[in-house]
Amino acid sequence: MDSREQVEPRVVWAVVKSGIGPLLLAASRDGLVNVVFHATDAVRDKAVERLASRLGTEPVEAPGSPLLAEAIRQFEAYFAGERRDFDLPLDWSLISGFNREVLRELASGVPYGQVVGYGDLAGRVGQPGAAQAVGMAMGANPLPVVVPCHRVVESGGGIGGFGGGLETKRRLLALEGVLPEPLF
């Protein structure tokens, strides 16, 4: 084990301010591993506990960690309207199978300012009848905003569901110019 491994924990996290409220960002040596909405104390504590259980290591609060520095910078730029795409290494270890396949397609195939229907996304991964399964994959997304599940909407024009809440989804879509900014 080199000296860097002794200094840098396996998983680090920080809570950052954003245009949609506090976000918990967690990273491993492989990349950003988790983004959690509405990271109040109770939500943060539960998220850190869940990460410890799922990753087999105790995440360490380290807002100054080099593992988080670029992610924090890119989130700040995104919410300031200065960045449209995230260019970060991602640690996909919290998701697998069909869900991972769908999320990877979403991340690479639905750019800023565009939306896709659940059924359309299912078709893109070769499962045209799996719109509901795509919805489940969106709900299981460990990397929201970076893997833009807010861009997945109902085929009939409805906004669809969202793990961060519908107001958060509306605000993200407004930031990207898909919806108008709320009047109040």
Q: Is 92 helix (H, G, I), strand (E, B) or coil?
A: coil
Structure token digits, residue 178 = 């898909």
Distance CA 76, CA 173 (A): 17
Specify whether 149 is catalytic. yes
Taking the alpha carbons of 66, 74, 79, 124 in that order, is the dihedral positive or negative? negative
Strands 60-61 and 11-16, bridge-based pairing: parallel
Q: Which residue type sits at 4? A: R
Q: Which of 36, 149, 152, 175 is catalytic?
A: 149
Place of tokens 């919806």: 179
* Whole-number Å distance between alpha carbons of 17 and 79: 10
The backbone torsions φ and ψ at residue 152, rounded to the nearest 5 degrees and listed phi first, read: -100, 125
**Distance of CA 71 to CAs 4, 68, 99, 115, 155, Å?**
20, 5, 23, 23, 32
Tell me which residues are annotated as active site.
Answer: 149
